[in-house]
Amino acid sequence: MIKYLSLLAFLGAMIALYFLVPRDKIKKFSTFGILAGPVLGFILLYFMTSLYGFWRFGPLDFFIMDIPLFMALVWYPLEVGFAYYFLNSNNTFMYWTVILFLPVVATFAHLVLLQFDLLTYHNWSLLGTFIQSLLIHAILGAYLYYTARMDLAS
């Protein structure tokens, strides 16, 4: 069962996406979700696992080049949801709440994986995971914010 943990997380995130984001918005944000999710996820996982060796995953997924496949794919529904809720925010507090949500989720997921010996850190920490994810989502949020403002201006 542990071998399929990432697959279960992916399926759970897809089900949550289906119930929490309108279908037309899923379609609208799919390109963003693919690029900010699995594509960025594969790149990040490649650097963190294969290139630098900061993270080493246990038997929780199917691996491609030492990269856990569904661990990268799980970011697709999360990033589509991120785009939807970020762009539907109407004040600074809501923007930052949406930006902080996924770093907290990522850090908690790493904590659980560490507790079950499904992830080991080498010269890394949970704080590093949080800060890295926060920076990524602040940049993604800025991209969404400014592209949405440019669309309104044109």
Domain carrying residue 49: 2-153
Q: How many domains does the chain have?
A: 1
Contact 68, 61 (CB under 8 A): yes
**Radius of gyration of the CA atoms of the chain, in A:** 16
Per-residue pLDDT of the chain (154 residues; tens, 9 = 90+): 577 889 999 999 999 999 999 999 999 999 999 999 999 999 999 999 999 999 999 888 889 888 899 999 999 999 999 999 999 999 999 999 999 999 999 999 999 999 999 999 999 999 999 999 999 999 999 999 999 888 767 6
Whether pTM > 0.75 for this model: the answer is yes
Amino acid identity of residue 47, one-letter, is F
- Of the candidates 9, 11, 75, 8, the one whose C-alpha atom is nearest the C-alpha of residue 40 is 75
Q: Which residue has the tokens 């902080």?
A: 100
The Cβ of residue 137 has, within 10 Å, a number of other Cβ atoms equal to 21
